[in-house]
Amino acid sequence: MGDDGQPSLHVHAVVGLSDGSTRGGHLLNAVVKPTLEVTIVETPAHLRRRKRPELGVALIDLG
C-alpha cells in the first residue's frame, strides 16, 4: 500500500536479449512483443512502503 492507502506496484523484471544474455532491474514502463510471462507475488500485509522525502524514495517501513 502507498502512503495514500491505495495499492502500489513495485515491479522487477528480467528481459532476455537476442544474444541469450539477460538484463534485470526495476520496470518503469515497457512494450512487449510478441509474448510476456508474469509472476505476481503478494507482499505480506504487514509490509508497507512509506515515502522518504529526504531520500527521494519509498522504503519499507519496519516500524
Percent share of the chain, pLDDT over 90:
16
Q: Greatest CA separation found in the chain? A: 45
Alpha carbons 63 and 52: distance in angstroms, whole number: 14
The C-alpha R_g of the chain, in whole angstroms, comes to: 15
Alpha carbons 25 and 50: distance in angstroms, whole number: 21
Alpha carbons 47 and 56: distance in angstroms, whole number: 19
pLDDT for the residue numbered 63 = 74
Q: Using 50, 70 and 90 to split pLDDT, how confident is the model at 4?
A: confident
Taking the whole predicted model, whether its pTM rises above 0.85 is answered as no
To the nearest 10°, report the CA torsion of 26, 31, 34, 37.
Answer: 30
